[in-house]
Amino acid sequence: MSAARNVPFSGWFLACLVLALGCTQSPPPSGQQAASPPAAAEREHVDPQVKVARAEVPLERAPQVSPTPPADQQPEPAANEAAAEPGASSAPAPLGEPSSTSPAQPTRPPGTKAFVPLGEIADDQLTMPRVSLSRAHAQLCKVQVGDPFPNVELAKPDGQAQPMAQLLGPKLTVLVIWNGKKPSSLQQLGDLEPEVIARFGEQGVRVVAINSGDDPQLAGELAAQAGSGFVVLCDQAGKTLEQTAPGRVPSTYLLDASGRVLWLDIEYSPSTRRELVQAIRYVLAHPAS
């Protein structure tokens, strides 16, 4: 008692107050933890450079790559693995390559070389194509529709002379003046066999190709590469071209049985190919016209 009396009253009161306050605080609810002031303060004082580095890290973790087993321990791939998976479909074939599942294309009958262009005019709609030339080109043409073609006498590549009148077809003659220096001339020579001879040759249509300006041996070689179903005549001096359409190579003329010009063109283009075939078909279907 004597020791308690020596303690000042203010000190004893403060001690009782601290003890009473400590007993009245309630613990935090279960499952929750109070935020730790030191941890919060530590987050507030993190170095800014460290914050930027942490922000750049992606939220998703990169997939872990398992080490590749040795070659002798790797399993062999199963045959047709993609087909075994449900719902798997094969990749489409690239453009221009035939698909293995596409139907087979129809083949041309054996021995048939005739070329029939798609979208050709029906027989009941055939008309004689008009000769459409510009004024400048028309002035170059010394032989017009209705005129007789010059009865020239030229030699074959082997040197044998052949008059034009003896080469006319029983019904029609397609006469082409060409030159080996013009790519369009060589293209036309390659088209004569499948588009004219193979299709209309048995109907009385012949083809005569007059080379203008080339050496006879070269003319014969170029014509042999294009086809062997037409007669080749050589005019190294170019006299025939001077009498018909000077400077216009290739030139194409459709002649009747007497050598009269029914249709002509002084160039070779898709329209020339189409109209030449149309003119042949029309004359064969209307022999009296």
> What total of structural domains would you count in the chain?
1
Looking at residue 39, its pLDDT comes to 45
19 pLDDT more than 90:
no
Cβ proximity of 231 and 162 under 8 Å? yes
- Please count the helices (runs of H) and the strands (runs of E) in the chain: 11, 7
Minimal CA–CA distance to 269: which of 133, 99, 116? 133
Quickly state the pLDDT bin for 240 (edges 50, 70, 90).
very high
Residue of 104 and 32 predicted with greater confidence = 32
Distance CA 51, CA 54 (A): 5
Residue of 212 and 227 predicted with greater confidence = 212
Provide the percentage of residues in the chain whose pLDDT is more than 70: 58
Cβ proximity of 218 and 107 under 8 Å? no
What DSSP letter does each residue of 4-73 carry, written as one string?
HHHS-HHHHHHHHHHHHHHHHPPPPPTT--PPPHHHHHHHHT--HHHHHHHHTS-SSPPPPPPPPPPGGG
Q: Which residues pair with 261 in a beta bridge?
A: 255
Q: Does a structural domain hold residue 54?
A: no
Q: Does a structural domain hold residue 183?
A: yes
Q: Does a structural domain hold residue 52?
A: no
CATH no. for residue 195? 3.40.30.10
Q: Does a structural domain hold residue 127?
A: no
Average pLDDT over residues 218-245: 93
221 pLDDT more than 90:
yes
Q: Does a structural domain hold residue 176?
A: yes
Looking at residue 210, its pLDDT comes to 97
Looking at residue 115, its pLDDT comes to 63
Residue of 59 and 140 predicted with greater confidence = 140
Looking at residue 21, its pLDDT comes to 62
Q: Which domain holds residue 242?
A: 157-285
CA-based radius of gyration for the chain: 49
Q: Does a structural domain hold residue 98?
A: no
Distance CA 265, CA 278 (A): 13
277 pLDDT more than 90:
yes
Quickly state the pLDDT bin for 124 (edges 50, 70, 90).
confident
Looking at residue 170, its pLDDT comes to 96
Quickly state the pLDDT bin for 229 (edges 50, 70, 90).
confident
Average pLDDT over residues 129-144: 93
Average pLDDT over residues 184-196: 94
Quickly state the pLDDT bin for 35 (edges 50, 70, 90).
very low
Cβ proximity of 281 and 201 under 8 Å? no
Q: Does a structural domain hold residue 41?
A: no
Q: What is the mean pLDDT of the chain?
A: 75
Looking at residue 122, its pLDDT comes to 87
Q: Does a structural domain hold residue 271?
A: yes
Query: Which class for 274: exposed (0-12), middle (13-18), buried (19 or more C-beta within 10 A)?
Result: middle
Looking at residue 287, its pLDDT comes to 83
